[in-house]
Amino acid sequence: MSQPGKHHAINYIEFSASDVVRARAFYSKVFSWTFEDYGPEYTSFSTAKAGIDGGFRQSKPGESSGSAAPLIVLYSADLKATEAAIVAAGGTIVVPTFEFPGGRRFHFADPAGNTLAVWSE
- pLDDT tens for residues 45-88? 999 999 999 999 998 887 765 557 899 999 999 999 999 999 99
Give the integer Cα–Cα distance in Å for 115 and 121: 21
Q: Quote the pLDDT of residue 67.
A: 59
Look at the pTM and tell me if it is higher than 0.85. Answer: no
Q: How many CA atoms lie within 13 A of 26 on its CB side?
A: 7
Would you give the DSSP letter of residue 47? H
Instruction: Give which of 37, 76, 73 is closest to 57, Cα–Cα.
Output: 37
What average pLDDT does range 12-29 have in this prediction? 93
- Report pLDDT for 59: 87
> pLDDT-based confidence at 114, cuts 50/70/90?
confident
Residue percentage of the chain with pLDDT more than 90: 77
Where along the chain do its domains lie? 4-120
Neighbours of 51 (CB within 10 A): 12
CATH topology of domain 4-120: 2,3-Dihydroxybiphenyl 1,2-Dioxygenase; domain 1 (3.10.180)
76: left (phi over 0), alpha (psi -120 to 50) or beta: beta
pLDDT at position 103 is 96
pLDDT above 70 coverage of the chain, percent: 95
